[in-house]
Each structure stands twice: as C-alpha cells, then as structure tokens.
C-alpha cells in the first residue's frame, strides 16, 4: 500500500484543493515537452505538479468497487466526467476503452463506477467529506490503530530494561508504554496539526458540541468510565449510515426537475425548470442536499442523493429510496423494482406537486394515502421572490412527510432502514 506522500487518491485530492491540474503524460519526466499528452487513451502516467510526482495510470488505488481496487485512470476519468449525465458518462467510458484497445492506445480499460460510488468519490475528492465507505484506510493508519488496540487491550505487558528512553540510560519501562511512545505522531503548530492544505473554519463545531456540553455530570462520568474500558470489550463500531435517495420524474411535464429541485427543497422557493435562475444544470445526473431531521438525528444533517433515473441502481439501493416525485404517469415506474404504483407506494413515499387551484389527476387519487399531494402558486415571470412566500410552507410539509416515512421505516442516527 502506498504511503500518504505517494498515495494516488491523496495526491489527486490535494491537487484539486490547490487548483493545480494533473497532467496525463507518456513518461515519468514531465519536463520534456513532448511527453505531455492530454489524452487518457495514450497516456501512461499522471503527473501531479503540486508534488512533483508521476504515478502510473494503471496503479491500483484504495477505492474499492465490486470487491477490487479501481485503477488511477478510472478514478481520474470519473473526476473529469463529474458533471456529465449517466448516459454520457457511460458512452464516454466505452469510447475511451475503444481508444485504449487501439493499436496506438495505452492498453487496459477504464472501470465504470455506479452512480452512488461516483458521487461518493467526487464528494471525497472535493473535500466535502472526510470519509468514504469505498476507500480503504492507508496501511500506516491501520497498523497504528492495531498497535494501539493491542496496547490498550493489555496484549503486551511487564517491565523490561531498555538501553535508552528519553535520553536517559538504564531506565526500565512497561513495553505497553513504549508501544504508545512509538505510535505517537510528531506534533506541529496550529496550522499544520490537522494536516490540511487550506485554512478551514471549524466554528460550526461549537453548535454540534452544545447538546453534549449541557448534559449532566453524571452522564459525563458514565461516559468517561466506559471510555476507560479495554478496547477488546468494546462492541463493534456501527456501520456508516447510508445516504437516503430521492427519485424525480424524468417527464418533461414535471414541475420539479434536476435543474430546480435544489432551490425548491433547500431554499423553499419554486423556480421553473427551464428558468435561467435555476440553481443546477439541467444535464446533471446526480445531486445531493443536506437536511436536519430532528426525530432521526438531532445534531447531524442527513445527506440525500437526488436522481431522476434508477439506471445505475444496485438491488440494495431500493431500500434507501425515501421519496418518489411523480406526475401521475405510470410509465415512470417501468424500470423500477416495484412497477405498479400500489406496490411502489407501499414501500416508499410518493409526492405529487401541481399548480394551486388545479384538479388532482384521477390517476393520482386512485393511488391512495401513499402519495402526498401538494400545490404551489402558478409561476409569474413578472412577480418578485416575495410573491413565493407560500412555497416554504409546501416544502416544509414535504420534508415532514419524508421524515415521518423514514422514521417509520427504521432510519436512525447511525443506521439505515430496516429491510424486511
């Protein structure tokens, strides 16, 4: 496993943060102008100017997909295509594989990543998340954690003489203490201790810590007592909570599309999908938004994934679908796991959004209480944002229904839904 200085994922992440573009090349020496080649089909190395390092594009990374490491070429390709729709991403991958297999190509092939894997990777590379369920930790981090666990569990014990400890000769110390000393990291100043590459504002941590600071002293004492217990007796760490998924209708008649869903669910303001003030690109295939749902997690906002097609779904993703926006057209469900509305809305919440004053379609009425019906004021291009004050009430009603549905299905602070 590569060290942190030579790890391809960390090098790519740091280059993105520093806005120092990586350069696909044909040799390790990027100083030779003829070696630079911006085509991934013929390049064999990826140069990181910020670190003056070249890494072969065939190098396996710590990102795991389908139980095998994904090579650097596939990772970099996914980053370059981060803003493309799923069909375009798939078509580009096929085209690149054909070029790689050509006579003048570099050989090999890029691996297609599922949309959730690609979103998780892009979020981590951009620095919006410090953890990823698909990225294995560095070997140095694993060995350090294992050594600490052995010391805390008392696997090694007893006093032994050592020739030098802290510059003093002939002193005897507990091997467990020596193990701790060996595992210590060299401390830096306040600017380097977090090993970041740019200043970060951590003021939000105060808000997150407030509920814990107000707890009674008895609770604190109990927590301290539990923290001193041997690690060998600690229960297995909880699995990372998966991100819930919201499905939109791909219909052109839908009031909510990928281009305006963020402004609606985040800001509580309806903007037509084709409006120039829409907050997202109409070609975006994956979006994510964050929302605090107090009855599930009082401190951490929950990240939601928004897509308008289940094309790249794995079977287990369907248990994470918490809402389906629909226009009342049954063809929308043709590629779903549950293809009839009655069965679909027994497993997840349906949401129909229409214009205020319009009649609810008979088709939607027949789907029963599993579908939430909501209405917004009709759009007027000449009216200002102040005229949309009732949109916020509609959005809050939708989020309330989503939260209740998630709670009923078993979503909790550190776990996903109960799969029956």
Among the listed ranges 228-242, 250-264, 289-303, which one has the minimum average pLDDT value? 228-242
**Cα dihedral 254, 255, 259, 264 sign:** negative
Are 256 and 403 part of one and the same domain?
yes
The CA distance from 205 to 208, in Å, is 5
Tens of pLDDT along 38-73?
Answer: 688 888 998 888 888 889 999 999 999 988 999 999
Are 120 and 168 part of one and the same domain?
no
Number of domains, the chain: 3
Q: Is residue 238 part of a domain?
A: no
Are 256 and 402 part of one and the same domain?
yes
Are 169 and 283 part of one and the same domain?
no
Are 180 and 254 part of one and the same domain?
no
Q: Which of 125, 144, 168 is the last residue of a domain?
A: 125
Q: Is residue 18 part of a domain?
A: yes
Are 159 and 297 part of one and the same domain?
no
CATH of the domain at 394: 3.40.50.11990
Residue 1 has pLDDT above 50, yes or no: no
Q: Is residue 140 part of a domain?
A: no
pLDDT value at residue 115:
85
What percentage of the chain has pLDDT greater than the value 90? Answer: 40
Residue 391 has pLDDT above 90, yes or no: yes
Region class of 67: left (phi > 0), else alpha (psi between -120 and 50), else beta? left
Domain coverage including residue 318: 245-408
Are 160 and 252 part of one and the same domain?
no
pLDDT value at residue 308:
92
Are 73 and 180 part of one and the same domain?
no
Residue 33 has pLDDT above 80, yes or no: no
* Tokens, residue 340: 């009839």
pLDDT value at residue 203:
65
Are 110 and 173 part of one and the same domain?
no
Q: Which of 169, 184, 199 is the last residue of a domain?
A: 184
Tens of pLDDT along 346-389?
Answer: 999 999 999 999 999 999 989 988 999 999 999 887 777 778 88
pLDDT value at residue 282:
57
Q: Is residue 208 part of a domain?
A: no
* Residue located via tokens 């510059």: 167
> HEC string of the chain?
CCCCCCCHHHHHHHHHHCCCCCEEECCCCCCCHHHECCCCCCCCEEEECCCCEEEECCCEEEEEECCEEEEHHHHHHHHHCCCCCHHHHHHHHHHHHHHHHCCCCCCCCCCCCCHHHHHHHHHHHCCCCCCCCCECCCHHHHHHHHHHHHHHHCCCCCCEECCEECCEECCEECHHHHHHHHHCCCCCCCCCCCCCCCCCCCCHHHHHHHHHHCCCHHHHHHHHHHHCCCHHHCCCCCCCCCCCEEECCCCCCCCCCCCCHHHHHHHCCCCCCCCCCCCCCCCCCCEEEEECCCCCCCCCCEEEEEECCCCCCCHHHHHHEEEEEECCCHHHHCCCCCCCHHHHHHHCEEEEEEECCCCCCHHHHCCHHHEEEEEECCCCCCCCHHHHCCHHHHHHHHHHHHHHHHHHCCCECCECCCCC
The CA distance from 212 to 105, in Å, is 57
What percentage of the chain has pLDDT greater than the value 70? Answer: 71
Neighbouring C-beta atoms of residue 368, cutoff 10 Å:
12
* Tokens, residue 155: 């696997």
Q: What does pLDDT average to over the chain?
A: 80
Q: Is residue 82 part of a domain?
A: yes
The CA distance from 217 to 224, in Å, is 10
Q: Is residue 192 part of a domain?
A: no
Residue 155 has pLDDT above 60, yes or no: no
The CA distance from 89 to 47, in Å, is 24
Q: Is residue 49 part of a domain?
A: yes
Are 318 and 377 part of one and the same domain?
yes
Q: Which of 184, 200, 230 is the last residue of a domain?
A: 184
285 against 154, higher pLDDT: 285
Count CA within 13 A, CB hemisphere, residue 226.
8
Are 45 and 103 part of one and the same domain?
yes
Are 121 and 158 part of one and the same domain?
no
Q: Is residue 190 part of a domain?
A: no
Residue 199 has pLDDT above 60, yes or no: no
The residues with which 288 forms a beta bridge, in sequence order, are 305
Neighbouring C-beta atoms of residue 391, cutoff 10 Å:
19
pLDDT value at residue 383:
73
Which backbone phi and psi does 385 adopt, to 5 degrees?
A: -60, -30
């Amino acid at each position: 496993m590569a060290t942190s200085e030579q790890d391809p994922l960390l090098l790519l992440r740091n280059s993105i943060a520093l806005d120092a573009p990586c350069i696909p090349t044909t040799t390790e020496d990027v100083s030779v102008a003829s070696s630079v080649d911006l085509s991934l089909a013929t390049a064999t190395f990826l140069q990181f100017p910020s670190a003056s390092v070249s890494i072969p594009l065939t190098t396996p990374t710590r990102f795991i997909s389908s139980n095998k490491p994904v090579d650097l070429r596939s990772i970099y390709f996914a980053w370059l295509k981060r803003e493309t729709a799923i069909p375009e991403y798939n078509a580009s991958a096929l085209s690149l594989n054909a070029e790689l297999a050509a006579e003048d190509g570099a050989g090999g092939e890029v691996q297609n990543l599922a949309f959730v894997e690609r979103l998780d990777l892009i979020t981590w590379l951009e620095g919006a998340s410090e953890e990823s369920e698909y990225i294995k930790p560095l070997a140095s981090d694993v060995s350090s954690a294992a050594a600490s666990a052995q010391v805390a569990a008392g696997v090694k014990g007893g006093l032994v003489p050592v020739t030098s400890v802290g510059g003093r000769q002939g002193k005897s110390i507990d091997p467990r203490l020596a193990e701790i000393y060996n595992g210590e990291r060299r401390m830096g100043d306040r600017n380097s201790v977090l090993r970041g590459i740019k200043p970060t504002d951590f003021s939000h941590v105060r808000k997150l810590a407030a509920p814990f600071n107000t707890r009674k002293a008895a609770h604190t004492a109990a927590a301290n007592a539990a923290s001193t217990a041997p690690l060998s007796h600690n229960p297995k760490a909880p699995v990372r909570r998966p991100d819930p998924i919201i499905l939109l209708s791909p219909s052109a008649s839908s009031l909510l599309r990928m281009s305006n869903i963020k402004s609606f669910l985040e800001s509580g303001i309806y903007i037509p999908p084709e409006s120039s003030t829409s907050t997202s690109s109409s070609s975006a295939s994956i979006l994510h938004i964050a929302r605090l749902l107090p009855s599930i997690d009082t401190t951490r906002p929950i990240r939601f994934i928004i897509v308008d097609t289940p094309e790249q779904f794995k079977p287990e993703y369907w248990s994470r679908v918490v809402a389906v926006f629909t226009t009342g057209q049954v063809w929308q469900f043709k590629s779903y796991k549950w293809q009839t509305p009655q069965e679909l809305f027994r497993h997840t919440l349906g949401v129909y959004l229409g214009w205020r004053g319009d009649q609810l379609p008979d088709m939607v009425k027949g789907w029963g209480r599993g579908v939430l019906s909501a209405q917004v004021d009709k759009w007027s291009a000449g009216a200002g944002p102040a005229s949309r004050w009732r949109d916020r009430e509609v959005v809050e009603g939708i989020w309330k229904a989503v939260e209740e549905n998630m709670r009923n299905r078993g979503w909790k602070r550190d776990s996903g839904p109960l799969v029956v």
